[in-house]
Structure 1
Amino acid sequence: MEARGMPPSVAMYNAIIRKLCEDGKMKEVNGLLKEMDERKVQADSVTCNTLINSYSKKGDMSSTCKVKRRMVESGLQLDHFTYKALSSMDSARA
């Protein structure tokens, strides 16, 4: 696609990130996030919710909170998907 003058969009990155998260390949996810930053592709709420959900399922509270904090700092709104992922982590810890 890039060879045809169509740079990767946030939606394309989100699809790849979702699959990598499902496969537990967080190192590759971090590489894509770095690539997005370098290409000035802004993460959106789907990106953040995917990460929050993945980290929550793994029980990684630190990374979950870090993504949530970045989400809020960048002006993205927390939505029902965000709260669902966060509440599932709270339930798992109880």
Structure 2
Amino acid sequence: MGTISDVTDRIHTEEELKELNETLAIESQKLSVAGQLAAGIAHEVRNPLTSINGFCSLSGMMPMKRRRTTLKSFFQRSSESNWY
């Protein structure tokens, strides 16, 4: 003689678990993409700032009159160029 068990609840629970895992996988991918985007943006912002920081350090070694002239020409050229 055998026994019969109703496994309907178990099947529904497994299906719900599978759907939750798929949802979590999608959310995880979204967060990963957002993290990569944020890292790329931070990199693009940091590069020009590093150049400006280096330029400012070097300009600190110049005499004041030359520093003003150099900074003035730097800002004129940067405002005339296309940054996009």
Regarding TM over 0.5, the answer is no
- Using structure 2 for the length normalisation, give the TM-score: 0.25
Normalising by structure 1, what TM-score?
A: 0.24
RCO greater where, 1 or 2, for CA within 8 Å and sep 6 or more?
1
